[in-house]
Amino acid sequence: MDVDDPIAVDKNMELQSDVDLYPLWMDWVDVHGRYSIVFQANGGGFEGGVDTVDFVEQGYGTEIVPPIPAREGYTLVGWNPPISNKVVVRYDTIYSAQWELNTYRMTFNTNGGVGDMVLKLEFGRPLLPPTPTKTGSTFIGWEPEVPPTVPAKDMEFMAKWNQISYSIIYDMNGHGVVPVDAKTSYVSEDETYAPPQPENPVGYSFIGWEPSSIPSGSTGNVKFVA
CATH no., domain 28-101: 2.60.40.4270
- 199-203: list long-range contacts, CB under 8 Å, 24+ apart: 200/176, 201/175, 201/176
Which tens digits make up the pLDDT trace of 77-89?
Answer: 999 998 876 666 6
pLDDT confidence bin for 18, thresholds 50/70/90? low
Cα separation, 81 vs 24, whole angstroms: 37
Backbone angles phi and psi of 110, in degrees to 5: -80, 0
Instruction: Identify the pLDDT of residue 3.
Output: 45
Instruction: For the chain, give every domain's residue range.
Output: 28-101, 103-163
Give the number of other Cβ atoms within 10 Å of residue 158's Cβ: 13
Tens digit of each residue's pLDDT (9 = 90 or more) over 195-222: 999 877 778 888 899 999 999 999 999 9
pLDDT band at 25 (very low <50, low <70, confident <90, very high): very low
Domain 103-163 is classified in which CATH homologous superfamily? Listeria-Bacteroides repeat domain (2.60.40.4270)
Task: Give the span between the Cα atoms of 66 and 61, in whole angstroms.
Answer: 15
Q: What pLDDT digit, counting tens, does each position of 122-139 carry?
A: 999 999 999 999 999 999
Hey, which residues does 169 pair with through a beta bridge?
A: 223
The closest alpha carbon to 77, from 62, 96, 93, 63, belongs to 96
Query: 29 by DSSP, 3-state: which?
Result: helix
* 35 pLDDT tier (thresholds 50, 70, 90): confident
Alpha carbons 56 and 72: distance in angstroms, whole number:
28
Answer for the pair 108, 117: CB distance below 8 angstroms, yes or no: yes
Cα 77 → chain centroid: 19
What do you get for the CA distance between the two ends of the chain, in Å?
132
Q: Note the pTM of the prediction, 2 decimals.
A: 0.72
Do the domains spanning 28-101 and 103-163 agree at the CATH topology level?
A: yes
